[in-house]
Chain A
Amino acid sequence: MFKTGLPYALLALGIFISYRVLDIADLSCEGSFTLGGALSAVLLVLGWNPFLATFMGMFAGFLAGIITGLIHTKLKITSLLAGIITMTGLFSINLVIMGLAPTVTQTNINGVKDYIISYNESGYSALVNLNGYNVNKEPIVRIYDTFLAVFSKNNYNMIFISLLIVIIIGLLIYWFFGTEIGMGVRATGINAKMARAQGINTNAMIILGLGISNALIALSGSLFAQTQKSASSTMGVGVLVIGLASIIIGEGIFGKRTFKNWIISVLLGAVVYYLIVVVAIQLGLPSHYQKLLYALLILIVLAVPQLRKMLFKGGKKHVNA
């Protein structure tokens, strides 16, 4: 159950960096999530080391974020549009990237096993399957297939590796935002005028921040594809809402008193969010109602403070009367 939930924690953290730390609504996340998944999947089929393939997926997301940042800061296009431009462009790029993965099929002719490696002729593809074989004619090795000696059960292994990555990334992000440069990014998001007056290059901080944000989102996409054993051109649809919901739920339940507290809240928010969705599905919620559930979840968490106020006020009035 946790195995796909944990990558969402990184998604939430990535969106947290743009939406909360930089105070920028970056819509490119659906594109960078898919980008991370697509590139990692292709590299796995090409026989790359799974850690390297995962890292490259993350790095591609970093570059995508930098492009959004450059469009926004250098060409002075609003962040909302800059994100949309990147996302739109990425849709095609992701198809082309996935087209680079050959299909490896096993044949069995007269009892002799062999493999056929066929390359995409159309130049694009909307799906990369991670269930089969790589170009070295060996089974594809995902990041989750690496520590198999530690845990005999595949699912525990998945949870362990996902958890490890989430914890490492969480610590790295906490460390980064405590450094001078990280404080510069935070100051830029809170008050850019003040930041510039204090010698902070706010444009550079926005570009860097969006890079890190999209790197985490792409890493999340890469891990997601590896848990699902496939990457598809539409795997990113809806991740913005998932990320926002996780942030809002996390803040609502676990608070945001200090920056450390805030990061942990966002990570846990993604887990809680995922639990709610899984429970709802187990209870028999038809899948086409899922989006409605997401929307209601966000609405409830956002409305709680206001509802509390209304109830409180109502109670007071009652006492006064």
Chain B
Amino acid sequence: MSMLKLEKGLKIFNLTGHESDQRIAMDHLDLEIEEGEWVTIIGGNGSGKSTLMNVISGVHELDSGHLYIDGEEVTKLPEHKRAKYLGRVFQDPNMGTAGMISIEENMSIASRRMRKNTLKWGFHKEERKKYYEMIKSLNLGLEDRLLQKVGLLSGGQRQAITLLMATLQTPKILLLDEHTAALDPKTARIVLEITEKIVTENKLTTLMITHNMRDAIKYGDRLIMMYGGKIIYDVKGEEKKNLTVDFLLNKFEEMDKITFDD
């Protein structure tokens, strides 16, 4: 059974209520992703990549269509109830963590993602050792700063912590929305390497949006290209490994031409 299944997903944004102002961000999209598959998603600005993530995570409710995670229908499930299935890392490094509390407190909140919060004390001393080891494995020298506020960390460090938080409790699906786009090239590389390590070690089903064609080809076992709220290209296996950046750029231009000629 597939881990993620989207059937005829439709999402229309309309800010004013006028028909002329509406924008079809997801156009009757069908998508099925197998357990353990790592899918990279590319596409121009406004092609609907983030909308896909937001529909999966429940930030936006589908206007029509159905969504299943691991066989369970979640179309109507609110965002916070879907969280137990999902690990998420956002483009903005400030979004994934709470800056005014410590690394340790952020991690302890993440470790309780799968269940209902109670009136039990929110942090146990035994957790500290676990977090220490996890953060040490990042090799960023953050393990001695567990008690510091996350707001004091750099963007790259925050993204690394967010990645840990997203995967601390193994999610059914890991959603990465341009999670290295705000980082300098060197830091982006480091965060991507950490991502690869975590995803392959845990065999995580992963969706990763990127604007970097080379990364989209290098990482993952399947590549999806989006345009106008639709999937216009979908490759996996050998075919994907043999892709070139030029080929993908050509594909983009082709698409623009077709719509222009319309």
Contact = CB atoms under 8 A, between A and B. Distances in A.
Interface in A86-144: none
A297 interface: no
A198 B109 contact: yes
Contacts of B118: 179-181
B56 to A, nearest CB: 12
Majority DSSP secondary structure for residues of A touching B: helix
Contacts of A186: 98, 101
Given A196-B79, A200-B80, A180 B122 contact: yes
B57 interface: yes
Given A181-B117, A197-B57, A200-B117, A187 B109 contact: yes
Contacts, number: 83
A179 B119 contact: yes
Interface residues of A, number: 22
Contact of A199 (B80, B90, B119, B123): B80
Interface in B110-155: 110, 112-114, 117-123
A201 B122 CA distance: 16
Contacts of A193: 90, 95
Nearest to A197: B88
A194 B120 CA distance: 21
A19 to B, nearest CB: 14
Contacts of B113: 198-199
A196 B109 CA distance: 11
B100 interface: yes
Contacts of A194: 95-98
Nearest to B84: A199
Nearest to B92: A193
Contacts of A180: 112, 117-122
A188 to B, nearest CB: 9
A191 interface: yes
B165 interface: yes
Contacts of A183: 101, 105, 108-109, 117, 122-123
Nearest to B175: A197
Interface of A: 176, 178-184, 186-187, 190-191, 193-202
Q: Closest 8 A-B residue pairs measured CB to CB?
A: A199-B83, A180-B117, A183-B122, A190-B98, A199-B113, A180-B122, A191-B98, A190-B100
Given A179-B121, A191-B95, 6 more contacts: A180-B112, A190-B98, A190-B99, A198-B109, A199-B112, A201-B80
